[in-house]
Amino acid sequence: MSRFIALIRRELILAMRHAGDSVAALLFFVIAASLFPFALGPSPQVLAGITPGVIWVVALLAALLPLNRLFGADFEDGALDQLMVSGLPASAVALGKMIGHWLTTGLPLLIIAGPVAVMLRLDPVLLPRLLLTLLPGTILFSLVGGMSAAITLGARGGTVLLPLVALPLMIPALIFGAAGVIAPHPVAEFAMLFGLLALFLPLAPLAAGAALRAAVS
């Protein structure tokens, strides 16, 4: 456990040293969401209706931005080989990096989503529900994105392949998350979101660990 915690601490320290990646994701989230009022007009009724979908789509795309460095930087400088022989299982190495991604990208997106949603005229009554759907949603983005980053690690054109692998797997979370904000009785949508989380929480680290072993072998 101490090695696993040390791995997460290492990821946080590296994220602070390369804070530009996380800042870029947050800036993309704010700027991209701010474009919709210019394109669709400032009508509160129109903006309120599309805000849940806008927030979810832009958060998904913003979460993808730092994924290229999640394993890529360590793979290029040899640090990944050292992590794989550090005594931690490969799945634990992958999970630690996924947690680091969520803490440095997913959690800030979750925090900033509230003010952005208010800016887009979301009904204040729906704001807590939006944040409740984004909590498992951002975790899913980190799990699925981390798994996809590991699968495409070292592949030719991996930067292009990464979103092609990740986006189809993230679409179910996007559908149920956005629908859960506006549904009159969102029990089914929340159940599906947490069901997806229960599926990918063990699956994503295992698949990513297997991909990392193949990449460094």
What's the pLDDT tens digit per position in 114-158? 999 998 888 889 999 999 999 999 999 999 999 999 998 877 766
Q: Are 102 and 139 in contact (CB under 8 A)?
A: yes
Residue 59 has pLDDT above 90, yes or no: yes
Residue 48 has pLDDT above 80, yes or no: no
Q: How long a stretch of residues is the chain?
A: 217
Q: Can you state the angle between helices 90-101 and 2-17, rounded to 10 degrees?
A: 40
pTM to 2 decimals?
Answer: 0.92
75/177 Cα distance (integer angstroms)? 33
23-32 pLDDT, tens per residue?
A: 899 999 999 9
User: What letter would DSSP give residue 102?
Assistant: I
Q: Are 8 and 83 in contact (CB under 8 A)?
A: no
- Residue among 194, 28, 209 at smallest CA distance from 109: 28
